[in-house]
Amino acid sequence: MTKEQTIELLQKQLPGFYSVEQVISIIKDLEEETSPVIITKILEDLLVEVNDRVKEVVDDMDDDTIVDLGSAEFDISHGNVLEVTSIDIERRCIIETIQEEITKVFHSQPIIKD
C-alpha cells in the first residue's frame, strides 16, 4: 500500500482517539526510506563525477604549474646532447587542486538523509 492509498483509507475509515487530520498529518510527515539500491546508484554517479572532474583539472593544468622548472638539473652527454637528469613535481599544487575539485563535487550533491 502506498502512502497516498493509506491516507485515502484513513480519511474514509478512521474512528478513534486521533482525528483523521492528525493521522494524515503524521503520515505526511513520514520520510520515504532510501533504499540501498538508490544509495548505491548515487554513490556510483558521484564516483563517475569525481573521476571526470579530476581528469579535467589535471588535463587543464599548465606544465609550469605541475613541474618546478627551477629544480631542473641537466647533464651533457656524448655528442653534446643535453639531458634532463631530474626535475621536481609540484605535488602540493596537484593535491590541492584535486582536493578542491572533489570538495566542489560533494558540495554540489543533495544531502542524503538517514
Do 59 and 95 share a domain, yes or no? yes
3-state SS, residue 73:
strand
Do 24 and 68 share a domain, yes or no? no
Do 38 and 56 share a domain, yes or no? yes
The total number of structural domains that make up the chain = 2
Domain span including residue 114? 34-114
Do 96 and 52 share a domain, yes or no? yes
Do 1 and 20 share a domain, yes or no? yes
Cβ contact 112:42 at 8 Å: yes
Per residue in 1-57, pLDDT (tens digit) is 566 776 776 666 655 566 667 677 767 766 666 667 777 877 888 888 888 888 888
Do 76 and 102 share a domain, yes or no? yes
Tell me how far apart the alpha carbons of residues 53 and 99 are, in angstroms, rounded to a whole number.
11
Cβ contact 63:96 at 8 Å: no
Q: Is the pTM of this model over 0.85?
A: no
Do 47 and 84 share a domain, yes or no? yes
